[in-house]
Structure 1
Amino acid sequence: MSTILAKEMLRDSKPKYKAVVAMIRDQIAAGGLSVGDKLPPVRELAWQLQITPGTVARAYTVLTDSGVLHAEVGRGTFVSDPATTIEKESGELPLNLIEIDVVRHNSGGDVNSVNLFSPHLPNGGQVELIRKLMGEIAKDPPSGIMHYPSRRSAEPAREAMTQWLHGAPIGQIDANDIVLSHGGQNAIVLVFQTILRGRRPVVFVEELAYPGFRRAAELVRADIVPIACDKDGIIPEALAAAAERHPEAQILCTSPEVHSPTCGFTPMERRLALVKVARKADLQILEDDCYRIGRAEGEGYRLLAPERGWYVSSLSKSVTPALRIGCAIGPRGMSAALHRSAEHGFFGLATPMLDLCAALLAHPQLPQIMENSRLGVERYVKVAVNTLGGFDLRWRHDVPFLWLKLPQGWRASAFCLAAEKAGVQIRAAEEFASRDAQSPHAVRMAVNGGVSLRSFEAAMERLRRLLDNPPEEIGV
């Protein structure tokens, strides 16, 4: 690419990224760039033009979002074929954006506003399968449509859930151990309702933890006490000290396979040490396994401590969150009490949902569909890592979110506000911490497979530009 004319254009152009956009468009129109040609890397072109990499990245994003260019993960940015793209009316990427329509957001199309609050799985075939099964069930529901749900009507769904959990290292289970719930959050509340006693029980959680633990504790009038962690999770000595200070504590909530929000993992040596402390302090252990979409790497607490290990999971991060299907499993001898908590609270899942659960979880296509979604998540994670890998980023290829520690001078809340103005919604670390705790300057970004890979990459590029060029009011 010739840069002599571009330097002349850039001299008096404000903003400069528009001049870069015009330069590339002119080069394509004049035949200097042809369909399939690879553009220079961002930093290389920035050096040639003597401008910032963020300016070039913004120009590339504008042209990518308008279909003039397309990016391929790990390969670079290329000139698109006009016959296969529909250019938008404006080539400029708007920074003041309103919330997009939910249908459009979930369509997988190209969008400018990208919500990265909660993970959204790519469609691996579950949409088509669920629609098909819902149609079949609607014609002739096995459980009927004029009956209350019961343990007997839920038995096929519980059997299917047992099959779906095959391979989870949580010890021996059968259908009677399974209590179906309205998603993982409802499962946590059921466990709290079954276990907690007294006027103000205490619940231990990781110092950065899934916010649903706090919300569930509030519902049952329990107090949350955060426990200090390191890269391997809860520190056993910190748990022991907290148990000494809070003898009324009754349960420890943890996510050993996937720490939310930090993407961490608790190794077996640490798990065994925590079990030892829990036994000495007579603490129950609740394992939240909702974020794992790959193979489990360690033994679960229900297997390690069968007399006090509780387990909750759901379909939200591995199949779909729309159905609100989850489960809770208690330790030995506690299944009846857990069933009563569900039946006294809401009788059970609606019978058509039980029929769908039974058909879906036992369907022979589901394992491959879940693998397709997992591979889709991996592609989105790779895009994020390729774009933001130069910063302090924690990620795992089979975890649907990433953890970014902000460079010195950034505050998490200010960065989230700037990102939202740029059309990217992310969560600050403080949302995962207790109210009076000091949280790190970090953010969590979830994978959103409901938008195209191109739109997700554009969102990552906008975050990188913010990190490279902090505004004066939030930079130092």
Structure 2
Amino acid sequence: MDTIQDLYARETSGPKYRALASAIRQAVTGGAMAPGDRLPPVRDLAWRLQITPGTVARAYTILTDEGALVAEVGRGTFVAAAAEPTRPLTGIEVDAVRHNQGGDTHEVNLVSPHLPDVGQVALIRALLAQIAQDPPSGVMHYPGHASGRAARQAVVGYLADTMLARLDAEDIVLAHGAQNAVMMVMQAVLTGRRPVVLVEELAYPGYRRAADLLRADVVPVPMDAHGVIPEALEAIARQHQAQLLCLSAEVQNPLLMAMPTERREAVAEIARRTDLQIVEDDCYRIGPPSGPSFRALAPERGWYVASISKRLTPALRFGFAVAPEGRAAALRRTAEGGFFGLATPITDLAAALLTHPRLPALQQALRETVADHVRAIVNALGRYDLKWREDALYVWLNLPPGWRASAFARAAEAQGVQIRTAEDYADRNANTPHAVRIAVNAGVSRRSFDAALDRLRHLLDNPPERIAV
């Protein structure tokens, strides 16, 4: 313990948990601690160094993740056995490590999620190579509904755990990501010179962008802790003769809530009474669903939209829309009139990827890595008013007194961290909360990610003396 204390005293910069981790690492590499030596109990070392037990536990966790220490339940934490010499990595292996770990960087973008590479990169490369040798759909004809059949059948299997009622490949229309799918649904549904689209009070900004492009008016619907308020929804739908309601029932963006089944049933019934169509965006769900989709609750008016952007990779721009019963033809016409269909190499790749036997294991590994990053955010910022889920790719932070959202975002950007404010999700004239959304970024090293969170915590701990404007 004396050696660790002496080395820790020499660490004069950075967070305390990193300083302690560095001191222990030096004690091990310098020979002061040998393989098999037991580390002091967390509380004992915390008392000796006059730091919190949580700081010691975090340092131990870092070194355990590195393989320098080994934690044994009921016995304690020990210096790990020396590793056997390893051969040099090949170029392909080095590239894989870079994809998995990311690089160290001061600039960390927490605006949109960046997925971890848990093996999907290597799988996509291998499948691309196979398709390049013998493309199942060929490369010399226009794409269309028929050429995407294998991919649509793969989507049916991919959505097997989603409560969508009866689902057939003919109900699915492929899109260039979920935003394109939302746009297609709007084109298939909206009529008249100035149609009205309803959205949640705080909602995915892509709904507004799509509606603006189609010259539709957007009207927000008040929310409570369970989602849109049924009474407000019915009143606003009737007042504006609205045609479409856009929402996210599983992982609401940005507030993270999952709409209870009872609320979904109430919304579906109101949609019937007011002749509303419903488009449900299920892009952010990476785990099992918590309830039935609106397509199951209202099969005559429920449109379902999703993609692989938040579950595998956004690079392929592979998304899809599932039409209500009897409405697939209108959706197909929208796609064919807009872009004929997805490029056949992409649909061939999607068909192979979504049916690959490794896919379930990859998705489980992705969920575990995302959960680990979310826990890091909670560890860093959990003393504040934070909404989070381990199965979501972002958290929602209500700022403490002294911070306005815009000022906090500017201060964070000055520290090399980019985030999104509540204003991005609200109507232009809304009175928005002083809150920000912070996304998981597994594309940078864990060191950089944790350091970015430390900078955000420092800002939260030290608000300006007066409220910034």
| Shorter-chain TM band | 0.7 to 0.9
Quote the residue 2:286 is aligned against: 293
Matched, 1:359 2:340: no
Quote the residue 1:195 is aligned against: 189
Moved over 4 A (4+): 1-10, 13-17, 20-42, 47-53, 69-72, 76-84, 103-107, 473-476
Instruction: State whether residues 175 and 320 of structure 2, in contact with CA within 8 Å, keep that contact through their aligned partners in structure 1.
Output: yes
Give the drift of 1:194.
Answer: 0.3
Quote the residue 2:116 is aligned against: 122
Instruction: State whether residues 441 and 449 of structure 2, in contact with CA within 8 Å, keep that contact through their aligned partners in structure 1.
Output: yes
Quote the residue 1:150 is aligned against: 144
**Partner SS state of residue 146, structure 2:** helix
Instruction: State whether residues 258 and 264 of structure 1, in contact with CA within 8 Å, keep that contact through their aligned partners in structure 2.
Output: yes
Give the drift of 1:452.
Answer: 2.7
Comparing 429-438 with 341-350, greater Cα deviation is found at 429-438
Instruction: State whether residues 39 and 79 of structure 1, in contact with CA within 8 Å, keep that contact through their aligned partners in structure 2.
Output: no
Quote the residue 1:442 is aligned against: 435
Quote the residue 1:138 is aligned against: 132
Q: What's the CA shift string for 1:373-414, capped at 9, x where partnerless?
A: 111111111111222222111111111111111112211111
Comparing 257-266 with 460-469, greater Cα deviation is found at 460-469
Instruction: State whether residues 183 and 324 of structure 1, in contact with CA within 8 Å, keep that contact through their aligned partners in structure 2.
Output: yes
Matched, 1:314 2:282: no
Give the drift of 1:418.
Answer: 1.6
* CA 303–14 in structure 1, closer or farther in 2 if over 3 Å, else same: closer
List alignment gaps of at least 5 residues for structure 2: 85-95
Give the drift of 1:342.
Answer: 0.2
Instruction: State whether residues 105 and 444 of structure 2, in contact with CA within 8 Å, keep that contact through their aligned partners in structure 1.
Output: no
Quote the residue 1:182 is aligned against: 176
Show the 5 A alignment for 1:453-464: 453-464=446-457
TM-score, structure 1 length as denominator? 0.82
* CA 327–78 in structure 1, closer or farther in 2 if over 3 Å, else same: farther
Equivalent position amino acid for 2:347 in 1: L
**Partner SS state of residue 122, structure 1:** coil
Quote the residue 1:302 is aligned against: 295
Instruction: State whether residues 104 and 448 of structure 2, in contact with CA within 8 Å, keep that contact through their aligned partners in structure 1.
Output: yes
Instruction: State whether residues 176 and 319 of structure 2, in contact with CA within 8 Å, keep that contact through their aligned partners in structure 1.
Output: yes
Quote the residue 1:262 is aligned against: 255
Instruction: State whether residues 34 and 79 of structure 2, in contact with CA within 8 Å, keep that contact through their aligned partners in structure 1.
Output: yes
Give the drift of 1:15.
Answer: 11
Show the 5 A alignment for 1:239-388: 239-247=233-241, 249-388=242-381
Instruction: State whether residues 141 and 352 of structure 1, in contact with CA within 8 Å, keep that contact through their aligned partners in structure 2.
Output: yes
**Using the alignment, how far apart are the partners of 1:15 and 1:291 within structure 2?**
34
Q: What's the CA shift string for 1:117-161, capped at 9, x where partnerless?
A: 111221222111100000011111111111000222111111111
Equivalent position amino acid for 1:195 in 2: V
Matched, 1:212 2:228: no
Instruction: State whether residues 252 and 283 of structure 1, in contact with CA within 8 Å, keep that contact through their aligned partners in structure 2.
Output: yes
Q: What's the CA shift string for 1:148-193, capped at 9, x where partnerless?
A: 0022211111111111111210111111111000000000000000
* CA 6–437 in structure 1, closer or farther in 2 if over 3 Å, else same: same
* CA 363–32 in structure 1, closer or farther in 2 if over 3 Å, else same: closer
Show the 5 A alignment for 1:420-431: 420-431=413-424
Give the drift of 1:367.
Answer: 1.6
Equivalent position amino acid for 2:223 in 1: C
**Using the alignment, how far apart are the partners of 1:425 and 1:227 within structure 2?**
29
Equivalent position amino acid for 1:357 in 2: A
Instruction: State whether residues 107 and 451 of structure 1, in contact with CA within 8 Å, keep that contact through their aligned partners in structure 2.
Output: no
List alignment gaps of at least 5 residues for structure 1: 85-102
Q: What's the CA shift string for 1:335-356, capped at 9, x where partnerless?
A: 0000000000000001111111
Instruction: State whether residues 122 and 373 of structure 1, in contact with CA within 8 Å, keep that contact through their aligned partners in structure 2.
Output: yes
* CA 378–71 in structure 1, closer or farther in 2 if over 3 Å, else same: farther
Instruction: State whether residues 402 and 466 of structure 2, in contact with CA within 8 Å, keep that contact through their aligned partners in structure 1.
Output: no
TM-score, structure 2 length as denominator? 0.83
Give the drift of 1:38.
Answer: 6.6
Quote the residue 1:412 is aligned against: 405
Q: Of the candidates 151, 159, 164, which is equivalent to residue 165 of structure 1? A: 159
Q: What's the CA shift string for 1:261-300, capped at 9, x where partnerless?
A: 1111100111111112111111101100010010001000
Q: Of the candidates 229, 234, 246, which is equivalent to residue 235 of structure 1? A: 229
Give the drift of 1:213.
Answer: 0.5
**Using the alignment, how far apart are the partners of 2:405 and 2:82 within structure 1?**
40
* CA 235–167 in structure 1, closer or farther in 2 if over 3 Å, else same: same
**Using the alignment, how far apart are the partners of 1:132 and 1:400 within structure 2?**
27
Give the drift of 1:329.
Answer: 1.1
Comparing 135-144 with 26-35, greater Cα deviation is found at 26-35
* CA 156–234 in structure 1, closer or farther in 2 if over 3 Å, else same: same
**Partner SS state of residue 143, structure 1:** coil
Equivalent position amino acid for 2:119 in 1: G
> Percent identity among equivalent residues?
53
Q: Of the candidates 444, 451, 457, which is equivalent to residue 451 of structure 1? A: 444
Give the drift of 1:8.
Answer: 11
Instruction: State whether residues 161 and 361 of structure 1, in contact with CA within 8 Å, keep that contact through their aligned partners in structure 2.
Output: yes
Instruction: State whether residues 254 and 396 of structure 2, in contact with CA within 8 Å, keep that contact through their aligned partners in structure 1.
Output: yes
Equivalent position amino acid for 1:403 in 2: W
Comparing 173-182 with 122-131, greater Cα deviation is found at 122-131
**Partner SS state of residue 151, structure 1:** coil
Give the drift of 1:455.
Answer: 2.6
Q: What's the CA shift string for 1:88-112, capped at 9, x where partnerless?
A: xxxxxxxxxxxxxxx9996623423
